[in-house]
Structure 1
């Protein structure tokens, strides 16, 4: 019978990629130590889309939530299930997930990051997932009290939906350290929650999930809008646009203009942060880190992508086309190299 199950459910843009990379790269070591990561990273993602019954679930997906749970059957140690999309589940879906894992001791693990950094990161991730709305429009909607989908992925709401299903001692909030902290501090906080011994896993510096500059993300937003019904969200888009435009070209551009929330909204963001911190102080859960880390600091001025001039966007678009030409050229090389190897092999056989 499974001992404990740690459900790491989000939030997005809280260092999840780094933590998950460490977990999956050390999967065999963890298994030997009695900690199981069932299935694969893809399996966790597909199980999440099944649990949440999202419209954008990949029709070719083979993993369901029940299949992932069944993968843990018979394991006598701890289990880790990790996908930041889980945090967006409804109360009923969360209840189903927790119930399906019992009688194991279920722990809910949530991460939180200050809103000043969260707003641009979440909006950018949305654009890189096929959204088309402007950054200013995104903030305007939230300021008017809309965009429940955003708030549903924030730690206070996630803990209410998921944390209320388990005892207080089994609810864990990990705060994201401020910039300049040791790169392994976030991992050490997660490892402590999941009872992974210090030094068990081999660590590397976090791989940069590079943020795009203001002009680059605006180019992508306009491409998304122009695509219409082509490459519908999510799998076809990731396979084509994410791979060949974002990863191969836009992420490779350096020195892009950083963007963020304008200082005219600073008081509003600071007010939201105080509300969030107060809610979490009053919620009984285990905190790894410090709730004060959710209070924005270093509110430096930065433009929004909406404020860019036409020339800046046009220049970025031209550079993107040039980058895609270079990328297209590299796609021809492996095939040609393979042909040459075959030809050399045939000559050697003669």
Structure 2
């Protein structure tokens, strides 16, 4: 049976993609060191959806029970990682933790400052088929009309739902370092919690694997989502088609140089929220890896919101996106092997040609046609 199970539950937009890429790219090295990740990346995502009762996958092959059974079969340490787990209810979290008994369960939550989290969270919602404008999103949070943001995307409430299920020493809060920190700082903090030896993992994976889009590009995607209607309603088909052929192949490849943010008029509100968040986390008994002060916004710049884009900026981005998709389609076409003519088809083609050539040489009687 497993000795320890580390459940990394998010939060979203806290460097999860970078950490997960390092883990999965070094699965064999971790395995040899006595640490395993059951299944593959999709297994954790499907199991998370099963735990939460989500219909994100049309034909999932992994359930939470299957993931738990695979976990129990390993004699060392196990890592379960999916940022969607943090949104589980208290009952779902309790079911998850109890499924790993009698192993020692550790809960890992990451936290990032709200000034960077808000724009990233909105963009992620658009890349998950969302259609609301940035102003609608941030306004809903400001008015208290979007409690799901706090429930599903912040460490404070995630820790309450998951952390309370294990002893204080088995709750770990990792703060995301601010801009300018060495790119591997987040990984070193994560690895330290689990006890992954330094130098074991190859860190050449780029931390920016989940590349952010520019203001115009994400606005184009938002309008595409709105125009899709009820097409690609499930998460997996949407990612397979829209994420792959539009976002990854085209939008991510643009310069994305028009950045966006909350807007200076809301800076005071965000700073007040940050202080409340820091105070609450400081009072919660858990292992803090990093510094809670990193949750205090330190680089507030007067940037525009996506809603302030000029219509020509969006139109230009849309036209360039169409051009990019034409090039992408041409590349895909070049990858498709041309069908080879069988010997029978070749014989028929040649025989038909000979017959037609022979008929053209025959002069039909006057007034009569061969066909």
Q: How many residues align?
A: 340
Write the distance in 1 (CA, Å) between the matches of 2:278 and 2:225.
35
Tell me the equivalent position of 2:290: 289
Write the distance in 2 (CA, Å) between the matches of 1:295 and 1:109.
20
Tell me the equivalent position of 1:63: 62
Tell me the equivalent position of 2:368: none
Q: CA RMSD in A?
A: 1.4
Tell me the equivalent position of 1:320: 321
Tell me the equivalent position of 1:201: 201
- The answer to whether the Cα contact below 8 Å between 1:37 and 1:80 also exists between their aligned partners in 2 is yes
Write the distance in 2 (CA, Å) between the matches of 1:289 and 1:60.
40
When the two structures are superposed, what TM-score results if normalisation uses the length of structure 2? 0.89
Tell me the equivalent position of 2:229: 228
Deviation at 1:255, TM superposition (A): 4.3
Q: What do the CA deviations read for 1:239-273 (whole angstroms, capped 9, x no partner)? A: 11111111111110004300000000000000111
Question: After the TM superposition, which of the residue ranges 17-26 and 197-206 deviates more from structure 2?
Answer: 197-206
Tell me the equivalent position of 1:187: 187
Matched residue of 2:78: which SS?
A: strand
Deviation at 1:339, TM superposition (A): 5.8
Aligned: 1:219 with 2:225: no
- Greater Rg by CA: 2
Tell me the equivalent position of 1:18: 18
- The answer to whether the Cα contact below 8 Å between 1:132 and 1:221 also exists between their aligned partners in 2 is yes
Deviation at 1:208, TM superposition (A): 3.1
When the two structures are superposed, what TM-score results if normalisation uses the length of structure 1? 0.95
- The answer to whether the Cα contact below 8 Å between 1:113 and 1:176 also exists between their aligned partners in 2 is yes
Matched residue of 1:190: which SS?
A: helix
Question: After the TM superposition, which of the residue ranges 79-88 and 192-201 deviates more from structure 2?
Answer: 192-201
Deviation at 1:233, TM superposition (A): 3.5
Write the distance in 2 (CA, Å) between the matches of 1:166 and 1:257.
44
Question: Map of 1:132-281 to 2, 5 A cutoff?
Answer: 132-152=131-151, 153-204=153-204, 205-281=206-282
Gapped runs of 5+ residues in structure 1? 343-350
Matched residue of 2:301: which SS?
A: coil
Q: What do the CA deviations read for 1:25-51 (whole angstroms, capped 9, x no partner)? A: 111111111111111110000000000
- The answer to whether the Cα contact below 8 Å between 1:24 and 1:41 also exists between their aligned partners in 2 is yes
- The answer to whether the Cα contact below 8 Å between 1:216 and 1:256 also exists between their aligned partners in 2 is no
Deviation at 1:74, TM superposition (A): 3.0
